[in-house]
Structure 1
Amino acid sequence: MQAFARSNRCASSTLKAAVESNSWQRFGCGPLLEPQATLIHRAIEAQAIARPHAIAAEHQGRSITYRELNRQANRLAATLLEQGVMADDHVALFVERSIPMLVGMLAVLKIGAAYIPQHVGVTPAAQLRHILAVANVRVVLTLAKLAPALPLTTAQKCIALDAFISADSVAADERNIGSAASSPDSVCFVLFTSGTTGQPNGVRVTQRNVCNILLTAPGNLGMRPGLKVGQILNIAFDMSAWEVLGCLAHGATLLIRGKDIAQTAERCDVLIATPSILATLDPARCTQLKVVALAGEPCPQPLADRWSAFCTFYNACGPTETTIVNTMQHYRGVGPLTIGKPTPNNTVYVLDEAGQLCAPGEPGEMWAGGDCVTAGYLGNPELTAERYQPDPFLGHGRTMFRTRDLARWTADGELEHLGRVDDQVKVRGFRVELDSVSAALESTPNCERAVTLKLDSRHLVAFVYPPTTDIDVARSRCAERLAYYCVPSLILAVEAIPLTSRGKVDKRLLLEWAVAHQAQDACAEQSVTA
């Protein structure tokens, strides 16, 4: 494998040449659009100038205007510079959801540094310690109540954002800091994802990456002044940047949730979520919603049908390494539910095992190219070289990323998601795609959600929701649609599908439930035999 060469310049001319010279680009190339800004904080600053008294964010009865958000961020940016933070440095943002959190994000961006968001109380202390070391962090932004519990060294400076804001006695400063500190290639934030070695990997997301998805349609989700956007996701999750930066860059009002997600969702015009989170909400109580965007997991068809009936509904896909999402479908409640087409200035290649392009209808692995491709992993050149490769289709030093998602092009040029390479398992010597089994189970009347997992080398286990789902009918649906070895040996109807802190299915906990159920059945059998 060739080493990763970082190059992220002048995408539109390269993409244009590719469109003109390669027929495959009629499917694989997103439209060419120019983002309205090249630095995401400049778009936020423009909102502060255009509508200074508009409410930028609300949280637990408190609010902040765009003017005040920008002013406080300028103050903090000046303080960070005094503390020796420079462009391209890393600043830890170890917080809880709050208005001060927004001030910290914006201030770091203003000086050309990158923030590293983590939700204290959710992220284990050992992981925070690992992040601080790998990112060479010298300044940590947090909240006063959280500071004593942080695993800091004597070399690390801690600033309590809420205390900093409360201590403000300076007249308003309308200047914008760091006019020359950032470029489109500057890293905007670093998101730590679960790693295969047990330690999280830090994905370096650039200004160009962020502006490309948030400041073009459909990624902008129609956000605009006067609309309310929910902030319900874990701030360490890449989709939270869609909520926060997307909202603020378009002059909307960010509703930062407390403990009750539903209470916030019911007040929103725009909601970004995982399918697992959306499935916990009642559509009848969310009548104000105008736009819903889902990503992070496969979306069940019944869920898409239910919500697309009354609002603009997007089903999207993309790992952190391709900047939030790089494909989107506007699903209108008719036709197949897919993950759509490449977003603007991006490309998608469906390749076979030899690295050759697959024809429409042929399954293969998705590789992503264009402006979505991030700047690699922090401090891990070996993994970067493995997953980020020179793009032979765009050329000109461009890079493509191996997503590990399986897909095929439909006849009308949309991508049908076929699961993860990691979700292809061997059962009784046969290859099984777990998502296909779940989709068959979800065709059962009244079944809203199904999750299928490999229990051991010979057995699959599936979980269906709601608990009233007819398990016999569900098993029959699998037997009708799939090979015999794809039919789960155990199907459990559950009261709820458990979620991780990032709003995805907690597969580890589900497997523990399955093992416990087996043990309970074994004990019952022994009792009967005795």
Structure 2
Amino acid sequence: MKTYPLTQSQLGIFLEMMQHPQMTQYNLGYMTSLPKSIDLDRLEQAFRTIYATCPTFRIRFLTEGDELRQTVDDTRELPIFRLTLSEPECEEFLQKALKPFDPFNDVLCRFHLIETPDRIVFLVDFSHLIADGTSIALLLGKVYLPLAYAGMPLPEQHYGLLSWAEDEESTFHTAAYEKDREYFRQHYQGCEALSLSESVSDPLGKYIRYDGHLPMAEVAEWCRRYDTAPNLLLMAAFAYTLSVVGRESSSVFTTTSHGRIQRRLREAFGMFVRTVPVRALVNPDTKVTDFVKSFRTELMGTIRHGSYPFSHFCRDLQMKPGISFNFYSGGITEEIKLGEESYPCCRLDSNTTCSDLTFTVVERDGQYDLRAESSDRLYSPGFLRTMVQTVKTVAQDMMLHPQSPLSSLSLVTQAEQAELIRLGTGKHIDIDTQDTFVSAFERQSAKTPERTAVVDGNSQLTYADLSRRSNLLAHLLTDAGVQPDCFVCILLDRVKEFPLSVIAVMKAGGAYVPMDTEYPAGRLQYILEDSQTKVLITSHSLLEEKLSQGMALPEGMQVIFIEDVDFTEETKAINLATPDGLAYMIYTSGSTGRPKGVMVPHRALSHFLQFIADEWRLSAESRISCHAPFAFDASIEDLYPVLTVGGTVCIVPEDATKDLHLLHQFITDNRITGGCFTTQLGQMLLDEYPDLPVDYLVVGGERMTKNPSCHCRLINTYGPTEFTVDATWYELEPGRQYDNIPIGRPLHNQTAYIIDSGRRLLLQGMAGELCLAGMQMATGYWKREELTKEVFTDIIVDGKPVKVYRTGDLCRWNEQGLLEYLGRIDQQVKLRGFRIELGEIESQALKFEGISQAVASVYDGQLLCLYYTADCDIDEGVLKEFLAKSLPDYMVPAAYIQLDELPLTPNGKVDRKRLPAPDIAEEEIVPPATPLEQQLFDITAERLGTDR
């Protein structure tokens, strides 16, 4: 028994079939309806004749030693099944007709002849291992079946699939093969395969698809005018859409060639289709016509170097592009011919697939059918719809503007743009744009002077006390030289005097700058110096502690010690706050190694506070816990909205912020009705205490991963400091399980846009940068004019410029019209609710003697790691102490990995995916240091079933 090698195309299919034995992706199934007058015996005999004559039908796979081979097995009969079914039974059968093939044991084709009361249903099913689309067309409509049914002799196959497999194998040791391999190595140097889906361990899932249409006539006319071909225009539109969606200027996808270049293969039955890579280089300044024509050059280069198979390309270049584009001119198999009659046939969809995105264009009935298909484990039906719509829009815009640069192309139609604007616009409400928090607080103070406003661990203040004392302190500040928009730094413990000082600064016309008592001395000094603050409000003990740690006061700075102020004095009311004036400045992590100050005006703050008071349903009976550090803008959500409605702020003591049980006790003892927490802590609190006696809980600062069971309103928020705390919100449905918990919709009177790197709106379902517009936008960054211009900028919406804040966050509109957060576009991350610019950590690490390269990364979503190279062995403990002097504790890496060299991508960039996992050995595990850490450890260990 003679055996043959597999072609490289067969080998690729075979390996995927072995990996997913239940998959029907590589079944070629076609069905047609025939009249009852058809002679079924004659039809069956025709196929048995073809089976006996064509050796490809009888191929079986086997192993010889360690080698996979194929042979012609003449001992097995063709499986033809004849069934009699009712029409409903037939329809049900067709839904599940495709069954996986076993290449070692099954005949790799099967036929069904089904009689129903009204028709004959004829079904063929081939394994892609032995057939391709051209073969099926030759079989059913052009050569084999028409001849066999008529009783005429079939063409002899002197050269077919098995001969081709032998010849292909022989080319791998030729000079031509080496030349072709070198071409691909050079041509694809620095390129990377693109995937638009999130990684999954097993992509095998349900086959899904979406179909669209494009008139053929306008494409044909455009291609005639610009001397190109329809497949090139539509491939260019697809490639450009990939670039937009993937946010990459270069990518590699695949297309297919029929592989029948040799004349003797034109009518051969077999699997000759070749997969070939396509490189797409997208320069936004390239003209449309030049971009389209570049694909002719690309494909011609691939054809000229055709002895190098795709499997070798994947092996040698260490990439396997999963996204593919296929163009079928003249249609796929559309008919079966029996005698003088022709009957339309259609392909059956696979039940299961593991393929990445496949985009197919088919000429049919005067139009191009555009089809996107994939596994539902990788993409949603909505995403496939978006891909088809965007490719169609891009192709049409290319034809309208052939001499324009790619950057000017529209990605959405006018109707789609209008829908996106509607989707991104928050609910409209009427508000007083001239109001400020101070004015709202004073109005409430006049209504409820004796109600408790603020409670800390030791004491409390009524509204009247808070109003009177803040007036007195405000006068002291103006006497110290504080004027409108001057910055006043506040360094205080978690005491009632902090919100008192904030109100005083605002009344004096200044903007407060909160300073965290946990910050290292170096960072505190930087804030004092950079803000050019005139006055520092603090306590004797805190200042003494920070000075002893190395902090120095800038020359000429005045210090007001809060415990020295005589609050028994009487003074006049004062309120110099204006809507356009600055309310506060909060320092956030900076990519250059320097924190940056975000300036927020009163108008933005006032709007935010009104939204919170309304939507969180705050009232005079509300008792809100303030858990967040005062230097973290989440504290604003807890401290101030409730003071505009007569409720009470209860400041969580320091020890309770670090202990889950103490925090629960605080909430219970103080009859707390609501509060804001980091996502991780909020989830842990509800996991441990699902009956938490509050009306609502707000979480934010991190990606929410689960919906804990609870008996209160649970609200997921998203918002950068640059957009006044919260920009979007979503109230979770109790008990509902989410694949990706949304961040929801924009706050009232605010607008959200999803844009590509060219600042154009993207369709629903496509991931892009989230941009925010509305009165909650910050003024900008203090003394960072260039950065302010870069991120507080204009985009064009409906033909008009709209000022937005570019968040740098990757988001998309889901199919329910809600925003989903997908991660950071740059390397900025959020960990335990704190926004961290990895570049700041890297910048500080590079200041350590001996370190030459440094990369900060978050491993497994929770462990902050520092990878570095150095010219000597680095003591990790010393390095950690060094970083702790300049970075907040949440920015100090937990794991340190010294490498000989950093892994790089072909483009020379650090390949973060190849950074090694930190080796957390038994002796390296740091035990929980606080009661809260111990509780988190115990809960997590129980969930994971581990003691580590």
CA distance in structure 2 between the partners assigned to 1:376 and 1:460 by the alignment:
28
Q: Give the SS at the match of 2:685.
A: coil
What TM-score do you get using the length of structure 1 for normalisation?
Answer: 0.74
Contact 1:350-1:366 at 8 Å conserved across structures: yes
Match runs of 1:361-376 below 5 Å:
361-376=765-780
Say which is worse superposed, 414-423 or 400-409, in terms of deviation. 414-423
CA offsets 1:351-400 (integer angstroms, 9 cap, x no match): 11222111111111111111121100001111111111024338987521
CA distance in structure 2 between the partners assigned to 1:236 and 1:264 by the alignment:
22
Of residues 124, 133, 137 in structure 1, which corresponds to 2:533?
A: 137
CA distance in structure 1 between the partners assigned to 2:529 and 2:748 by the alignment:
36
Contact 1:35-1:211 at 8 Å conserved across structures: no
Partner of 2:450: 53
CA distance in structure 1 between the partners assigned to 2:702 and 2:627 by the alignment:
16
Contact 1:327-1:342 at 8 Å conserved across structures: yes
Partner of 2:564: 163
Partner of 1:270: 674
Say whether 1:71 aligns with 2:473.
no
Partner of 1:339: 743
Q: 1:128 to 1:199 in 2, by over 3 A?
A: same
Of residues 591, 594, 598 in structure 2, which corresponds to 1:196?
A: 591
Say which is worse superposed, 371-380 or 213-222, in terms of deviation. 213-222
Say whether 1:462 aligns with 2:860.
yes
Partner of 1:291: 696
Q: Give the SS at the match of 1:260.
A: helix
CA distance in structure 1 between the partners assigned to 2:793 and 2:784 by the alignment:
15
Q: 1:340 to 1:217 in 2, by over 3 A?
A: same
CA distance in structure 2 between the partners assigned to 1:214 and 1:243 by the alignment:
10
Contact 1:216-1:344 at 8 Å conserved across structures: yes
Partner of 2:577: 182
CA distance in structure 1 between the partners assigned to 2:789 and 2:746 by the alignment:
24
Q: Give the SS at the match of 1:26.
A: helix
CA distance in structure 1 between the partners assigned to 2:793 and 2:601 by the alignment:
18
Contact 2:452-2:463 at 8 Å conserved across structures: yes
- Unaligned segments of structure 1, at least 5 residues: 1-18, 426-433, 435-455, 466-499, 522-530
Partner of 2:722: 321
Partner of 1:227: 622
Partner of 1:29: 425
Deviation at 1:463, TM superposition (A): 7.0
Deviation at 1:146, TM superposition (A): 1.4
Q: 1:335 to 1:460 in 2, by over 3 A?
A: closer
CA offsets 1:14-67 (integer angstroms, 9 cap, x no match): xxxxx9x94322211111223367201111111211100000111113111010
Say whether 1:312 aligns with 2:713.
yes
Partner of 2:542: 146
Q: Give the SS at the match of 1:362.
A: coil
What TM-score do you get using the length of structure 2 for normalisation?
Answer: 0.42
Of residues 499, 511, 515 in structure 2, which corresponds to 1:102?
A: 499
Say whether 1:88 aligns with 2:491.
no
CA distance in structure 2 between the partners assigned to 1:516 and 1:395 by the alignment:
54
CA distance in structure 1 between the partners assigned to 2:624 and 2:858 by the alignment:
39
CA distance in structure 2 between the partners assigned to 1:257 and 1:424 by the alignment:
29
% identical aligned pairs: 26
Of residues 595, 601, 616 in structure 2, which corresponds to 1:206?
A: 601
Q: Give the SS at the match of 2:584.
A: strand
Contact 1:339-1:416 at 8 Å conserved across structures: yes
Q: 1:412 to 1:218 in 2, by over 3 A?
A: farther
Deviation at 1:508, TM superposition (A): 5.1
Partner of 1:16: none
Say whether 1:260 aligns with 2:659.
no
Look up the equivalent residue of 2:689 and give its one-letter code. Answer: A
Partner of 2:643: 248
CA distance in structure 1 between the partners assigned to 2:891 and 2:479 by the alignment:
46
Q: Give the SS at the match of 2:711.
A: coil
Contact 2:456-2:495 at 8 Å conserved across structures: yes
CA offsets 1:396-440 (integer angstroms, 9 cap, x no match): 875211111111112221101111113699xxxxxxxx9xxxxxx
Contact 1:229-1:247 at 8 Å conserved across structures: yes
Look up the equivalent residue of 1:343 and give its one-letter code. Answer: L
CA offsets 1:159-216 (integer angstroms, 9 cap, x no match): 011321xx23324x4x4303xx332121100000011111110000111111111102
Q: Give the SS at the match of 2:444.
A: helix
Match runs of 1:33-44 below 5 Å:
33-35=429-431, 38-44=435-441
CA distance in structure 2 between the partners assigned to 1:219 and 1:422 by the alignment:
35
CA distance in structure 2 between the partners assigned to 1:326 and 1:394 by the alignment:
22
Look up the equivalent residue of 2:760 and give its one-letter code. Answer: Q
Contact 2:538-2:559 at 8 Å conserved across structures: yes
CA offsets 1:451-494 (integer angstroms, 9 cap, x no match): xxxxx99x9943789xxxxxxxxxxxxxxxxxxxxxxxxxxxxx
CA distance in structure 2 between the partners assigned to 1:314 and 1:516 by the alignment:
37
Q: Give the SS at the match of 1:348.
A: strand
Contact 2:728-2:747 at 8 Å conserved across structures: yes
Q: 1:114 to 1:217 in 2, by over 3 A?
A: closer
CA distance in structure 2 between the partners assigned to 1:318 and 1:64 by the alignment:
31
Q: 1:78 to 1:194 in 2, by over 3 A?
A: same
Deviation at 1:111, TM superposition (A): 1.8
Q: Give the SS at the match of 2:640.
A: helix
Q: 1:507 to 1:72 in 2, by over 3 A?
A: closer
Say which is worse superposed, 49-58 or 207-216, in terms of deviation. 207-216
Q: Give the SS at the match of 1:357.
A: coil
Look up the equivalent residue of 2:419 and give its one-letter code. Answer: S
Q: Give the SS at the match of 2:527.
A: helix
Q: Give the SS at the match of 2:698.
A: strand
CA distance in structure 2 between the partners assigned to 1:510 and 1:169 by the alignment:
49
Structure number, greater radius of gyration = 2
Q: Give the SS at the match of 2:611.
A: coil
**Aligned residues between the structures:** 427
CA distance in structure 2 between the partners assigned to 1:460 and 1:162 by the alignment:
42
Contact 1:265-1:271 at 8 Å conserved across structures: no
Q: Give the SS at the match of 1:417.
A: strand
Deviation at 1:281, TM superposition (A): 2.3
Partner of 2:820: 416
- Unaligned segments of structure 2, at least 5 residues: 1-414, 658-662, 832-853, 864-883, 898-916, 925-948
Say whether 1:128 aligns with 2:524.
yes
Contact 1:31-1:343 at 8 Å conserved across structures: yes
Look up the equivalent residue of 2:527 and give its one-letter code. Answer: I
CA offsets 1:97-127 (integer angstroms, 9 cap, x no match): 111111110001112210000122x111111
Instruction: Give me the CA root mean square deviation.
Output: 3.2
Deviation at 1:288, TM superposition (A): 1.9
